[in-house]
Amino acid sequence: MTATPEGAAAPERRATRRLAEPDLPHFDIGDLDAPTREALSSLLLTMADDEFVLGFWDSEWTGIAPMLEEDVAFSSLAQDEIGHARLLYEMLAQLRGGNADELAFGRHADEYHHCLLLDHPRTDWAFSVARRWLYDTADAVRLDALRRSAFAPLAQVVEKIRREETYHLMHMDVWMRRLAQGGEPHDRLEKALATLWPDALSMFASVPDEGRLIDEGILASTMSDLAERQYEQLSAVLVNLGLSVPGRRPSWEDGRARAQASDSFRWLWGEFTMVHRLEEGASW
């Protein structure tokens, strides 16, 4: 970076920025009956785990992304995901008791519910671009089904998350278009998509008691409907980009089903819980 004249001039004003309102709106859990609370908790846990695990996978690029600028940008995107996860874990903690840190770091590797798309290791840059693009496009569909949620605090949080995710998607669209142009990047991208394809819709595995969430107006459509929508959009864009993927439509019903954590996730879990496990119960 070339030197900026700004530093030498008047002492920089450090505006203290206070949030106009807390990110997590106050809510009364008494507004929800117990079964609805349970169903909502299941949904929130899958969403929070998805964001959390993606954030940690992508933070693995910090320091080694293709360019310094991309390094900063991609790391910032990863931080955004951790921020979204924090909000969702906090909401979950209010619904079920416990605290967000314990939910995020205090579980065994086998107890996370992230979708299978996030069980793959970081691999190469094309793979991480492909994975994040698949994730962000799917996440946009999921968030869209929650933005008018009858559970107002969720609608508010989703609206804020969506504003950041819109930008994430733009960033990934740029990279998909770039890599799809041809040559080695194109080949690597197709290879990555072929590996990820069976899990492309895994985010839309149904959540327990989903019907109740729909009846209550918390979730706008079934996960199956969302998966169909995502599949159609995905196929159209991939054709547009001149990318071929295995023709079969991926299944999604078992999108979070696993006997135990994958080896790559177990490794990641070891990384992101390392500090937490140093001193159980310490406050940081």
Partner 1 sequence: MSQEGAGAQEQAGPLGQPVPDRGPTAKPAPSSEGRHDDAARLGEGAEPDVWEVFRQEKDGDQMRHAGNVRAPDRDLATHYARELYSRRQESVRLWIVSRRDITDLSDPDLLQPPLDRTFKKPGGYVMRDKLDAARKRAAASDGSKAGGGEGGAA
Question: What is the smallest separation between the CB atom of 99 and partner 1, expressed in angstroms?
Answer: 26
> Under the phi-then-psi rule, with left for phi > 0, alpha for psi from -120 to 50, and beta for the rest, what region is 249?
beta
Angle at 78 between CA 59 and CA 71, to 5 degrees: 60
Six token digits for residue 268: 């990641």
Sign of CA dihedral 77, 82, 88, 90: negative
Nearer to partner 1, 22 or 281 (CB): 22
Rounded to the nearest whole angstrom, what is the least distance from the CB of residue 96 to partner 1 in the complex?
32
Nearer to partner 1, 21 or 69 (CB): 69
The C-alpha atoms of residue 56 and residue 43 are separated, in whole angstroms, by 20
- Is the CB of 108 or the CB of 177 nearer to partner 1? 177
**Residue 46 Cβ, how far from partner 1 at the closest point, in Å?**
28
CB of 89 to partner 1, least distance (A): 22
- Residue 103 CB, nearest approach to partner 1 (Å): 26
* Dihedral pair phi/psi, residue 116, rounded to 5°: -65, -25
- 76 or 240: CB nearest partner 1: 76
Q: How far is the CB of 185 from partner 1 (least distance, A)?
A: 6
Task: Between 66 and 246, name the residue whose CB sits nearer to partner 1.
Answer: 66
Which residues of the chain form contacts with partner 1 (CB under 8 A)? 1-6, 13, 15, 17, 66-70, 72-73, 76, 167, 170-171, 174, 178, 181, 183-185
> Using CA atoms, how far apart are residues 196 and 234, in angstroms rounded to an integer?
13
The nearest distance, CB 180 to partner 1, in angstroms, is: 12
Contacts of 99 (CB under 8 A, 6+ apart): 93
Backbone angles phi, psi at 115, to 5 degrees: -75, 160
* DSSP result, 78-124: HHHHHHHHHHHHHHHHHHHSS-HHHHHHSS-GGG----GGGGS---S
Q: Which amino acid is at 276?
A: H
Distance CA 153, CA 91 (A): 9
- Name the residue nearer to partner 1 (CB basis): 8 or 282: 8
Residue among 170 and 257 whose Cβ is closer to partner 1 = 170
